[in-house]
Amino acid sequence: MAYRFDFQPVLAHTDLLLKGAFFTLELTAIGAVLGVALGILGGVSRAWRLRPFAQVFGVYVELVRNTPFIVQLFFIFFGLPSLGVQLSEWQAAVLAMVLNLGAYSTEIIRAGIQAVPHGQFEAAAALAMTRAEAFRHVVLKPALGKVWPALSSQIIIVMLGSAVCSQIATQELSFWANFIQSRNFRAFETYLLTTLVYLLMAIAVRLLLNWIGRRFIMRNR
């Protein structure tokens, strides 16, 4: 008996898949902005050995990078309420994504900052740049430019990893895939199309980040 593939029952729910895909993209956008911001704080603290922040970020980076995302998510969503911190399912998802990306981007950005030769600070001072200007133009931009491809990959990894957020009922793409297959009993077809949507999203986000990199980060290089 051969199995007959039938995608119609899945395509009937295209609106739900799109809704989920947009929510995943929203989570990713918020996660990426806040996560990279956290990574800049962490990267600068670690690269310049600012006490006590360098040590705090060091412990944070090791804790996050050596435990699975789904356990971090469960700890935040199920564990933190015992400390009186009750987050909604999308807040828990965003927090987990920010903390996860923050740890990886701390290490990526630290490497970028350390790759900027020290003579450039002296050159900036010789040009009478203020500290803020020097930080922006001499430290941050060249550092981000050097590590932008690695940072982009990490953002995409976090987006794909966010699929497990359906387990705490965050209404992102895989949540709606689970919902649809529980209605139409076409699990394989549903997940195949959902996987395809994730693949297209990964490609689209990669193109977008490449464009942002070329347009704003890696100019004049």
* Residue closer to other proteins, measured from CB, 68 or 117: 68
Should residue 74 be labelled a site residue for other proteins when binding is judged by CB under 8 A?
yes
Based on the shown chain and the rule CB under 8 A, indicate whether residue 149 belongs to the binding site for other proteins.
no
Q: Does 70 bind other proteins (CB under 8 A)?
A: yes
Cα–Cα dist 163/157, whole Å:
11
Please state the closest distance from residue 156 (CB atom) to other proteins, in A.
8
| Interface with other proteins, residue 59, by CB under 8 A | no
Structure tokens at 29: 């956008």
In three-state secondary structure terms, 183 is: helix
- Cβ 47 to other proteins, closest distance in Å? 17
74 vs 121, beta carbon nearer other proteins? 74
Taking CB atoms within 8 Å and a gap of at least 24, the contacts of 125-131 are none
Token pair in block for residue 99 = 């903390």
Give the residue with the Cβ less far from other proteins, 116 or 156: 156
Residue 85, both tokens: 């911190």
- In angstroms, the CA 153 to CA 150 distance is 5
Which residues, in sequence order, are CB contacts of 151 under 8 Å at separation 6+?
36, 39, 105, 108, 109, 144
Binders of other proteins among residues 78 to 97 (CB under 8 A) are 78-83
- For other proteins, the binding residue among 102, 174, 176, 180 (CB under 8 A) is 174
Q: Does 179 bind other proteins (CB under 8 A)?
A: no
Count of Cβ atoms closer than 10 Å to residue 142 Cβ: 20
Minimum Å distance from CB 121 to other proteins?
Answer: 25
Residues that bind other proteins (CB under 8 A): 3, 62-63, 65-72, 74-75, 78-83, 156, 160-164, 167, 174, 187-188, 191-192, 194-195, 198-199, 202-203
